[in-house]
Amino acid sequence: MISPAAAYRNLLLFVLPALAVYLVFAVLPLATSIVMSFFQTNGASGDIFVGLANYERLFTHPTISARFWNALLNNMQYFAIHLIVEVPMGLLLAALLTSGKLARSEGIYRTLLFIPATLSVVIVGFVWRLIINPLWGLVGFPLLGTESTALTTISLMSVWQYFGIPMVFLYSALLAVPNELVEAANIDGAGGWTTFWKIKFPLIAPQFGLIAILTYIWTFNGFDLVFALNGSAPGPNYSTDILGTYFYRTFFGSSGQLADLDLGAAVATIIFLTVLLVTAAYFWLIQRRLKSYSV
Amino acid sequence: MRSIRVSIPLAATLGVMFSGSVGAAFADPVTITLNSWRTEDIAVWQDTILPAFEAKHPDIKVEFAPINTNEYNAAVQSQIEGGAGGDLITCRPFDVNREWIKRGYFESLEGLPGLANFDKTSRAAWSGADDKTYCLPVAAVLAGFYYNADIFKELGLKVPTTSAEFIDVLQAIKKDGRYTPLAYGSAESWQLAYNGLYSIGPAYWKGEEGRLGLIDGKKKLTDPEFVDAIAAFGAWKPFLPAGQESLNYADMTQLFTLGKAAILPDGSWDINQATSTGLNVGVFGPPVPKAGDQRYLQEMPDMGIGINAKSAHKDAAKTFLDWVAGPEFQELYVNAAPGFFAMSSKPVTYKNKLAQDFADLKKGAQLTPRLALDRLSAGTPPLDDETWRLLQVMFTKSDVTPQQVATELQAGLASWYGPQKK
């Protein structure tokens, strides 16, 4: 018989390796980056504590703040398109896959639909850029070169790539819905539509909420596709600039802009807080109240 | 950051111990190291350039020590500030280097005989606030217009020399209808500035006169010569391919190399690409506003080499730089890396015919670097960045005038750049 104290000691021993890696490679860099945002590190006299000066610059300098708000608004649009198109599309396809209408080809469809999510963003960006290229492609209109359509175009490319993720996620949730409930509903005379919305959807609502908030986190940390397509100063006229590219440009500099590590750290902290606060609020206010039915 | 600083004294100590022991064992030859960001040049230096130097100076051994391009600036800074670093440092042009000079990284090169081979404009990118030169100019890139000589022959066109002739040529190609006049698109905004405005603009703002005028605050971007230059560049718009708003740099080069477009406004670094499909390609310089006007050409300094102020072998480093200043090195380097051009006023022969044609454009032309990279982009918003953005806006929207572009550029610059405030 192991004493409780020894059990805890063993537990700690087992957790320690993973905890150490997590602390050193995730928590520590995050903390140093937050600390850095309160310093001026590139001066001749070493690191100087400057309080909120970097944040003040971020929110009051006419150019820097204008670009920041522009990137934030663009990012909201980028998220909204994912939420409105990608998540419902994932739900629809998951519902179709589990409806039994596809019979034996279900596995083939599931695989085919998931393939884009396994591709590299660089490939996705390259292929789509060729498909919609006005010179060699299918669309004569310069979708990526027009301010009003560029961001939506990039968002939809990303949706095309990643709709497989919510699909698989919701697919597995739907598989877990007990058949007895569906059969009982059928016996009570419910059609496919009613069964889905009255029986299946309420049962997978927590997962649906989770994938929505994950989409939020992914899009607000988004960077790669925009960078692959438009570089670190994404045009035209910064219309496709999102927080990730804004941060990259500030922290690492671009060919037209000098790197500013401290301001970059401030931007990173703001992005972190944006993601953290909304996610926390979601879990406190919504996810807790979603009833999980147990059967 | 901190960990790097801590490790430097250690590295420096080891380095001193190492070189000390080597020095004790062999009094001769002296070994000097050269830091560079051109990792791709390692074979060129080791197999061609350094053996040629060492054959002449058996008492000096040079070691080429490249650092990854993206880490170069940060690495050099932390090395030198820790008292280490190579004896010879490859210098970035303009603002980065000006900061390095200010921090005392380099030994002044004044008095080096080879420096006489370079004029003031060539040295400007590596001069300090005291007007002394700290790095020896090694290579520059040029900008101009590649043209498909067969299309020109087929349509009976002559290479244009004035802005009016240039537009006439574009008009004639457009009227014929078989070829796109200009292989040019605005998806990548940098090349609107570097291969467009900064290439044809100097003829309007008189090269250095306009550029230095902006730096001194004597001229404004809203002055007529700058607005005219932006307007002359905007006049290209009707001659670009359909959907140019979405075409990137690779698309435009491809359009030209496939023989579907007559003229490609581009930089000298693209020589190998532009001729990769075996087309009969020629090159011409930016047109002048009126016949008989002075010709201008964009020559962008790319790299120089300076001496580390803390080097223990300054005499050997000076001997090496004096050789770098001479025609032997210049010819070896530019022929090993086509697209790069010697900045020396001594004639240099290029084995690549198109490169020689490009170099010939320098004859009789006044040279000037890119407009906004010297001092004017060291604040927020950087003038260079704003130029990219606003030229792209002008090329992707129909209702933006050159005057508006100039006004917004000036407002951005005047918001932070001292000599332009007022």
Give the integer Cα–Cα distance in Å for A13 and B386: 56
CATH class (in words) of the domain with range A59-289 = mainly alpha
Same domain, B239 and B383: yes
pLDDT at A43: 64
B380 contacts A145? CB cut-off 8 A: no
A257 contacts B389? CB cut-off 8 A: no
Mean pLDDT, residues B186-208: 95
CB contact B173 to A (< 8 Å): no
Give the orientation angle of helix A261-285 with respect to helix A53-60, to 10 degrees. Answer: 80
Burial of B334 (0-12, 13-18, 19+ CB in 10 A): buried
Instruction: Report the residue of chain A nearest B372, measured CA to CA.
Output: A256
Residue pair A90/A163 in contact by the 8 Å Cβ criterion: yes
Q: Which residues of A are less than 8 Å from B412 in CB distance?
A: 63
How many CB atoms are located within 10 Å of the residue A34 CB? 15
A238 contacts B396? CB cut-off 8 A: no
- Please give the structure tokens belonging to residue B94: 């303009």
Mean pLDDT, residues A231-251: 91
Of all residues in chain A, the percent with pLDDT exceeding 70 is 96
ipTM for this model: 0.85
- Please give the structure tokens belonging to residue B421: 């405030």
Q: What is the CATH number of the domain that holds B120?
A: 3.40.190.10
Residue among A63, A133, A231 whose CB faces B246 most closely: A133
Please report which helix (H) or strand (E) contains residue B281, including its range. strand B281-284
pLDDT at B185: 94
Could you give the number of structural domains in chain B? Answer: 2
Residue among A41, A143, A231 whose CB faces B246 most closely: A143
Nearest in space to B116 (alpha carbons), one of B328, B325, B332:
B325
A140 contacts B242? CB cut-off 8 A: yes
Mean pLDDT, residues A46-66: 92
pLDDT at A232: 82
Give the integer Cα–Cα distance in Å for A17 and A13: 8
Q: Which residues of A are less than 8 Å from B382 in CB distance?
A: 256-258
Q: Residue B171: pLDDT band by 50, 70, 90 thresholds?
A: very high
Residue among B189, B251, B396 whose CB faces A146 most closely: B396
Q: Residue B5: pLDDT band by 50, 70, 90 thresholds?
A: very low
pLDDT at B73: 82
Same domain, B236 and B313: no
- Residue B62, helix vs strand vs coil: strand
B243 contacts A145? CB cut-off 8 A: yes
Burial of A82 (0-12, 13-18, 19+ CB in 10 A): buried
Q: Residue B134: pLDDT band by 50, 70, 90 thresholds?
A: very high
pLDDT at B152: 97
Residue among B103, B241, B378 whose CB faces A135 most closely: B241
Of A166-180, A228-242, B23-37, B55-69, the one with minimum mean pLDDT is B23-37
Mean pLDDT, residues B108-135: 91
Same domain, B129 and B186: no
Nearest in space to B43 (alpha carbons), one of B35, B51, B33, B53:
B51
Q: Residue B77: pLDDT band by 50, 70, 90 thresholds?
A: confident
Same domain, B273 and B207: yes
pLDDT at B2: 40
A61 contacts B388? CB cut-off 8 A: no
Q: Which residues of A are less than 8 Å from B243 in CB distance?
A: 133-135, 140-142, 145
CB contact B223 to A (< 8 Å): no
Write down the pTM of the prediction.
0.86
B188 contacts A237? CB cut-off 8 A: no
**Over 50: is that where the pLDDT of B21 sits?**
no
Sorted by sequence, the CB contacts under 8 Å of residue B208 that are 6+ apart come out as B121, B366, B368
Q: Residue B256: pLDDT band by 50, 70, 90 thresholds?
A: very high
Q: Which residues of B are less than 8 Å from A134 in CB distance?
A: 241-247
> For A95-153, what is each residue's pLDDT tens digit?
999 988 888 889 999 999 999 999 999 999 999 999 999 988 998 899 999 999 999 99
Residue among B245, B251, B385 whose CB faces A233 most closely: B385
CA distance A235 to chain B (A): 8
Residue pair B134/B126 in contact by the 8 Å Cβ criterion: yes
Residue pair B304/B138 in contact by the 8 Å Cβ criterion: yes
Residue pair A239/A249 in contact by the 8 Å Cβ criterion: no
Q: How many alpha carbons lie under 13 Å from residue A235 in its C-beta half-sphere?
A: 27
pLDDT at B20: 41
Give the integer Cα–Cα distance in Å for B148 and B29: 52
CB contact B389 to A (< 8 Å): yes
A210: left (phi over 0), alpha (psi -120 to 50) or beta: alpha
Of A29-38, A41-50, A259-268, the one with minimum mean pLDDT is A41-50
Q: Residue B89: pLDDT band by 50, 70, 90 thresholds?
A: very high
Average pLDDT over chain A reads: 91
B247 contacts A236? CB cut-off 8 A: no
**Over 70: is that where the pLDDT of B339 sits?**
yes
- Which domain, by its residues, includes B293? 142-299+369-420
Q: Residue B6: pLDDT band by 50, 70, 90 thresholds?
A: very low
A62 contacts B187? CB cut-off 8 A: no
Chain A interface disruption, residue of B6, B105, B237, B246, most A CBs within 10 A:
B246
pLDDT at B14: 43
Q: Among the three residues B327, B344, B368, which one is the final residue of a domain in this structure?
A: B368
Residue among B95, B248, B380 whose CB faces A63 most closely: B380
Mean pLDDT, residues B16-30: 51
pLDDT at B172: 97
A141 contacts B187? CB cut-off 8 A: no
Q: Which residues of B are less than 8 Å from A231 in CB distance?
A: 188
Distance from chain centroid for Cα B322: 22
Give the integer Cα–Cα distance in Å for B385 and A85: 34
Same domain, B43 and B81: yes
B241 contacts A61? CB cut-off 8 A: no
Same domain, B241 and B376: yes
Mean pLDDT, residues B59-70: 90
| Distances B183 to A267, B146, B306, B409 between C-alpha atoms, Å | 39, 10, 39, 26
> For A64-82, what is each residue's pLDDT tens digit?
999 999 999 999 999 999 9
pLDDT at A192: 87
A237 contacts B246? CB cut-off 8 A: no
Mean pLDDT, residues A19-42: 92
CA distance B185 to chain A (A): 10
Q: Residue B71: pLDDT band by 50, 70, 90 thresholds?
A: confident
Give the integer Cα–Cα distance in Å for B81 and B85: 9
pLDDT at B346: 84
Q: What is the full DSSP assignment across A86-122?
A: IHHHHHHHHHHHHSSTTGGGHHHHHHHHHGGGGS-HH
Q: Where are the domains of chain A?
A: 4-49, 59-289
Same domain, B170 and B204: yes
Same domain, B149 and B250: yes
CA distance B351 to chain A (A): 31
Same domain, B225 and B258: yes
**Over 60: is that where the pLDDT of B252 sits?**
yes
B389 contacts A238? CB cut-off 8 A: yes
Q: Residue B1: pLDDT band by 50, 70, 90 thresholds?
A: very low
Same domain, B193 and B270: yes
CA distance B96 to chain A (A): 9
Same domain, B199 and B323: no
What residues in chain A have their Cβ under 8 A from chain B's Cβ atoms?
A: 41, 44, 61-64, 129, 132-136, 140-147, 231, 233, 235-238, 254-258
Q: Residue B253: pLDDT band by 50, 70, 90 thresholds?
A: very high
Q: Residue A2: pLDDT band by 50, 70, 90 thresholds?
A: confident
Q: Which residues of A are less than 8 Å from B244 in CB distance?
A: 134, 142, 145
A256 contacts B380? CB cut-off 8 A: no
In three-state form (DSSP H/G/I as H, E/B as E, the rest C), the secondary structure along B293-361 is CCEEEEEEEEEEEEEECCCCCHHHHHHHHHHHCCHHHHHHHHHHCCCCECCCCCCCCCCCHHHHHHHHC
B412 contacts A147? CB cut-off 8 A: no
pLDDT at A55: 96
pLDDT at A225: 94
Nearest in space to A235 (alpha carbons), one of B413, B396, B128:
B396
Same domain, B71 and B104: yes
Residue pair B78/B9 in contact by the 8 Å Cβ criterion: no
Residue among B1, B251, B378 whose CB faces A135 most closely: B251
Give the integer Cα–Cα distance in Å for A204 and A188: 21
CB contact B189 to A (< 8 Å): yes
Q: Residue A294: pLDDT band by 50, 70, 90 thresholds?
A: low
Nearest in space to B409 (alpha carbons), one of B243, B220, B280, B266:
B220
pLDDT at B11: 43
- Note which residues in 334-363 of chain B have CB less than 8 A from chain A: none
pLDDT at A122: 92
Q: Among the three residues B352, B368, B384, which one is the final residue of a domain in this structure?
A: B368
E strand map for B37-179: 60-66, 88-91, 106-107, 135-148
